[in-house]
């Protein structure tokens, strides 16, 4: 196979006028940045002159190490590499760049002083986009460089269009999921309000008790779909079906929080129906309420910190024992403290104090500072407050105690009788 010698320096010459006949006039703004890697300084300068006259911004390097340093400091749109570099030759350099995700799509052109078919195959297998014989002249190099840059620009534009379409589809899906979740939430709130009104009417009108059929209806109509929403939202939140974007993750978080809140309302409503029908039974045991307050405070302390609310716990260890159902009293304490946190504005303080009382002990939860206030546009907020407090008050009464609210929830006091009084 014929071997072509490297282009000699005199063929290029130091004068730019020899290249003006081969290239168009320079443009006002560079088309792209090209890095030329060649050990021959004369040939390197000749390629640089030709490409700069064609309007490119040209960087140069004498070997693979200099090439890597330039790539680490400057943005490069195309690479022209001499096949016969010393140390790390052209194909090995191209292979190394292709193994790096940052340069996987960078157009790489190999220049060779030989027309060896084996060299061409080796260079293309290493990942080069083109193999050009130096003796073919600069016109071939310029045209092929321009073609590869146009191809890269077209690929980038196509990828941008695909990404834009994907983002648009994700936004539409997010909006649709948020709309469906809100419609489901409003429907569930309507069902809850309807049954809450029915419970109140039955209790206040003539003391009638809820029938088992209504309890079954509530369980089937409310708990099952809410459980499904929570389950699917948890799967999405765990990214089991693929990674989520920031907006998708926020949307799933809101769906999960809303579904859990509604499920809490359903459980509160069902607790209330069990209380009204006398189906709820207490599992009493002698307990120091300080232990329950420690547990509830530990659960809610992080939520208070995230909302910039200070929790002050004044709970002595020598409180009198009370004969209570610890699960139900903890439910009461959690409801009272959680509602206090929801009502308190950032910078407020929530004081929790347990002390002896005449016939037992009392736990006072006081909000010091401004309140957020209720959202009149959200009917579910008033329903949640009413149901949660009603269940907590009825549980306290079932233990022989009371739950009092003063100042529109600014201070809530739970009183429980001591063991001797039971």
Burial 368-384 (b: 16+ CB within 10 A, else e): eeebeeeeeeeebeebb
**268 and 373 co-located in one domain:** no
Q: Specify if 116 maps to a domain.
A: yes
CATH classification of the domain holding 42:
3.40.50.2300
Q: Is 260 among the domain residues?
A: yes
Q: Provide the 8-state DSSP code for 128.
A: -
151 within domain boundaries: no
Residues 6+ apart with CB under 8 A from 228: none
- Same domain (yes/no): 306, 406: yes
The residue segments making up the domain with residue 395 are 285-421
**Are 170 and 125 contacting, i.e. CB atoms less than 8 angstroms apart?**
no
* Same-domain status, 302 and 238: no
- Do 126 and 247 belong together in one domain? no
Nearest Cα to Cα of residue 185 among 376, 391, 379? 379
Listing DSSP states for 112-127 in one string gives ESB--HHHHHHHHHHT
Are the CB atoms for 235 and 198 separated by under 8 Å? no
Beta strands 130-133; 108-112: pairing state: parallel
Query: Based on the domain organization, do 78 and 197 belong to the same domain?
Result: no
Instruction: Please tell me the predicted confidence (pLDDT) of residue 8.
Output: 32
Can you name the residues that pair with 36 across neighbouring β-strands? 60, 80
Provide the 8-state DSSP code for 102.
G
Q: Which of 232, 260, 277 is where one domain is finished?
A: 277
The pLDDT tens digits for 214-228 are 554 655 566 667 777
- Does the residue 301 lie in any domain? yes
State the CB neighbour count (10 A cutoff) for residue 43: 21
Same domain for 57 and 174? no
Residue 142 lies inside a defined structural domain of this protein:
no
- In this structure, the answer to whether residues 212 and 294 fall within a common structural domain is no
Query: Rounded CA gap, 402 and 40, in Å?
Result: 94
Domain identity same for 50 and 172: no
- Say if residue 252 is in the same domain as residue 289: no
Per cent of the chain over pLDDT 70 is 77
Q: Are the C-beta atoms of residues 356 and 319 closer than 8 Å to each other?
A: yes
Higher-pLDDT residue of 17 and 257 is 257
Last residue of a domain, one of 277, 306, 330: 277
Neighbours of 194 (CB within 10 A): 10
Residues 96 and 190 in one domain: no
Same-domain check for residues 319 and 381:
yes
What are the pLDDT digits (tens) for 381-421? 667 777 788 888 888 888 888 888 887 768 888 888 876 44
- Better pLDDT: 2 or 296: 296
What is the domain-level CATH number for residue 325?
3.30.565.10
86 in a structural domain:
yes
Nearest to 397 by CA among 419, 417, 421: 417
In a domain, 160, yes or no: no
Task: Flag whether 159 is in a domain.
Answer: no
Quick one: 358 and 296 in the same domain?
Answer: yes
pTM of the complete model beyond 0.85: no
Residue where one domain finishes, among candidates 243, 277, 311: 277
What domain count does the chain have? Answer: 3
């Amino acid at each position: 196979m014929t071997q072509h010698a490297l282009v000699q320096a005199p063929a290029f010459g130091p004068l730019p006028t020899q290249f003006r006949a081969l290239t168009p006039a320079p443009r006002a703004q560079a088309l792209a940045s090209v890095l030329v890697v060649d050990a021959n300084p004369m040939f390197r300068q000749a390629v640089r002159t030709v490409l700069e006259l064609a309007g490119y911004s040209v960087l140069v390097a004498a070997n693979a190490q200099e090439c890597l340093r330039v790539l680490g400091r400057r943005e490069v749109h195309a690479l022209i590499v001499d096949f016969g570099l010393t140390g790390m030759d052209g194909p090995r350099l191209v292979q190394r760049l292709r193994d790096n995700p940052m340069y996987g799509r960078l157009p790489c052109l190999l220049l060779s002083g030989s027309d060896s078919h084996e060299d061409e195959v080796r260079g293309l297998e290493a990942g080069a986009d083109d193999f050009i014989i130096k003796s073919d002249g600069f016109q071939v190099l310029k045209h092929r460089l321009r073609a590869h840059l146009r191809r890269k620009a077209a690929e980038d534009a196509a990828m941008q269009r695909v990404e834009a379409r994907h983002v648009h589809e994700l936004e539409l899906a997010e909006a649709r999921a948020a709309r469906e979740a809100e419609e489901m939430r409003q429907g569930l709130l309507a069902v809850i309000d309807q049954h809450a009104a029915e419970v109140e009417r039955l209790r206040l009108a003539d003391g009638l008790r809820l029938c088992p059929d209504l309890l079954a209806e509530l369980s089937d109509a409310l708990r099952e779909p809410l459980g499904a929403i929570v389950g699917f939202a948890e799967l999405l939140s765990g990214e089991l079906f693929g990674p989520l974007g920031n907006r998708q993750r926020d949307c799933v978080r809101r769906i999960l929080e809303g579904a859990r809140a509604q499920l809490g309302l359903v459980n509160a409503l069902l607790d209330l129906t069990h209380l009204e029908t006398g189906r709820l039974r207490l599992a009493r045991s002698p307990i120091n309420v300080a232990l329950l307050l420690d547990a509830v405070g530990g659960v809610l302390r992080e939520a208070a910190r995230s909302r910039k609310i200070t929790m002050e716990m004044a709970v002595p260890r020598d409180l009198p024992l009370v004969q209570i159902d610890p699960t139900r009293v903890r439910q009461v304490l959690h409801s009272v403290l959680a509602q206090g946190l929801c009502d308190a504005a950032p910078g407020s303080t929530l004081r929790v104090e347990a002390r002896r009382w005449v016939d037992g002990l009392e736990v006072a939860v006081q909000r010091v500072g401004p309140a957020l206030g209720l959202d009149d546009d959200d009917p579910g907020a008033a329903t949640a407050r009413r149901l949660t407090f009603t269940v907590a008050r009825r549980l306290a009464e079932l233990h022989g105690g009371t739950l009092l609210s003063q100042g529109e929830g600014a201070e809530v006091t739970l009183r429980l009788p001591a063991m001797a009084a039971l």
